[in-house]
Structure 1
Amino acid sequence: MSAREEILGRVRSALADAPAPPAVAVPRRTPDPAADVVSLFCERVADYRATVERCAADELSVRLRAALPEGARVVVPADLDLEVPGAVVDEGMPAIDLDAVDAVVTRARVGIAETGTIVLDHGPGQGRRAITLVPDHHLCVVEASQVVADVPDAVAALEPSRPLTWISGPSATSDIELDRVEGVHGPRRLHVIVVD
């Protein structure tokens, strides 16, 4: 028996008769049912220095084209159900090729109003994680019906076994002198189109 096993055995023996700790209730603020979660989501996304706009479903293709500079090299997931003229479909592009791309267009799985966070579970229309992190510009389409009030609501809507990417604005960091640098860990620009 190792010293570690001996110590852990003593701890288990000492705790054998101890009562179970009481369950701790996690306080949770109840969202206001009258609140406009989509407007709050847009406001919070904009707080992160991201571009955010709302449109009707029939305006989406026009908004997508307007959001992408003419001649931009754009990559899209293979199963994206949106028309993005001139886009290259990702079929496992290596990182060096993704780095030469100007933008990526994806969908989202969930938008969180309270935090202005977009969550991707890399399901249909979202692509693999690399295409959402390497190009400098991420244009993400969020349906208004996908916006939830807060993080607990988002967690309840997500499948925990899927890979999750949580995006709160463009990638940014600050050094010790608090100089903000964008694009260090992901896209420099985040553009969100919320479809009502």
Structure 2
Amino acid sequence: MSSRERILGRVRRALSDVRQDDTPYEQAVSRGYLREHGERSAEQTVDLLAENLADYRAVVHRCTAAELASVIGRLLAERGSKTVLVPPGLDEGWLDGTDVERVADRAESTPHELDRVDSVITGCAVAAAETGTIVLDGSPDQGRRRVTLVPDHHICVVRVPDQVVSSVPQALERLDPARPLTWISGPSATSDIELDRVEGVHGPRTLEVVLVSVPHPPPGPR
């Protein structure tokens, strides 16, 4: 008998006198909690996201869609980046006018190769304003999870207001749990028992978030 079979046998014996619960999962736990704290306009929700991102020591920038390429070019230049990792589905227009060497997101890239990349640029799946959290789900404009965990500088573009929600419950409704989800609240950081903060332990030391305003097209004729 293997250790696994021995452990499962003990579990079955321990549960042998427990009555079967036929309550559906969605009814088993009361979920009457607030879905968001207070009412906000879309603009106020974006402002709250920016405030909480900055509180987590992310660097927040705002621009229009027409200004996005120049903002990204400026951020790369200020960083002194010579190489930038680009996910396969990233909008090429975001890098118009930049002469930084582009590195492809390849499955065979080693951690050492990724560590030599100066910057990475991605989009995002959704952002939750109340917690200042950005979620990546491995979509083509975000690439593999590790490309945002190894390079030291991450530029993340969030389209506002479309990709911004108030709360985590609202964010979960937009996400596919089967996808590789990465939840980001500021640059990677940890602290020891004396609360000495160290950044860049499990991911980039610098997180720059660009909130780009994407205008909605005017309604068509009825």
Q: TM above 0.5, one fold?
A: yes
CA contact (8 A) 1:119 1:165 kept: yes
Query: Which residue of 1 is the match for residue 3 of structure 2?
Result: none
d(CA) in 2 for partners of 1:131, 1:22? 39
Q: Report the Cα offset of residue 6 of structure 1.
A: 7.2
CA contact (8 A) 1:78 1:91 kept: no
1:172 to 189, 194, 206: 189
Q: Does 1:67 align with 2:71?
A: no
Aligned residue-pair number: 195
Moved more, 113-122 or 24-33: 24-33
Query: Which residue of 1 is the match for residue 212 of structure 2?
Result: 195
For the residue of structure 2 that corresponds to 1:63, the secondary structure is helix
| 11 and 42 in structure 1: CA distance in 2 versus 1, 3 angstrom threshold | same
TM-score, normalised to structure 2, is 0.79
Q: Does 1:131 align with 2:130?
A: no
The correspondence of residues 87-126 of structure 1 with structure 2, limited to 5 A, is 87-92=102-107, 93-126=109-142
Amino acid aligned to 2:105: D
Query: Which residue of 2 is the match for residue 152 of structure 1?
Result: 169
Gap runs ≥5 in structure 1 = none
Runs of 4+ deviating beyond 3 Å: 2-14, 18-23
RMSD: 2.5
Query: Which residue of 2 is the match for residue 79 of structure 1?
Result: 89
TM-score, normalised to structure 1, is 0.89
Moved more, 21-30 or 107-116: 21-30
Query: Which residue of 2 is the match for residue 55 of structure 1?
Result: 63
